């Protein structure tokens, strides 16, 4: 199941489990929609893939054991290990290639 990481790896904005502006890549790198659009240009700075809206885990336990209360979100904050320059260079190199072709 998804970790539901608590923050944007770029700007450190809080992204609680029900955040509608959370975006993830296939490796679950997590960013806010503003950073994805403004700084990253839909290029994950870690893997080079694209982003999709992060699913929202239900708060109501519709099925036994399946809710955010039973399967809580991660509390471990994650931060990028690349400089802004390195991120900009990767984004410039691959942003014009559709994510499905990267």
Please say whether the beta carbons of 50 and 27 come within 8 A. Answer: no
pLDDT single digits (tens) 55-75: 999 999 999 999 999 999 999
The answer to pTM > 0.85 is: yes
pLDDT single digits (tens) 89-99: 999 999 999 99
CB contact burial 41-59 (16+ within 10 A = b; e otherwise): bbbbbbebbbbeebeebbe
């Amino acid at each position: 199941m998804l970790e539901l990481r608590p923050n944007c790896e770029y700007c450190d904005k809080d992204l609680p489990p029900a955040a509608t502006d959370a975006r993830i890549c296939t490796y679950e790198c997590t960013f806010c929609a503003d950073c994805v659009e403004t700084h990253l240009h839909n290029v994950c700075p870690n893997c080079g893939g694209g982003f999709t809206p992060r699913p929202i885990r239900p708060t109501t336990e519709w099925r036994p054991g399946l809710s955010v209360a039973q399967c809580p979100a991660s509390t471990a904050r994650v931060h990028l290990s690349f400089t802004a320059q390195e991120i900009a260079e990767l984004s410039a190199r691959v942003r014009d290639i559709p994510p499905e072709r990267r």
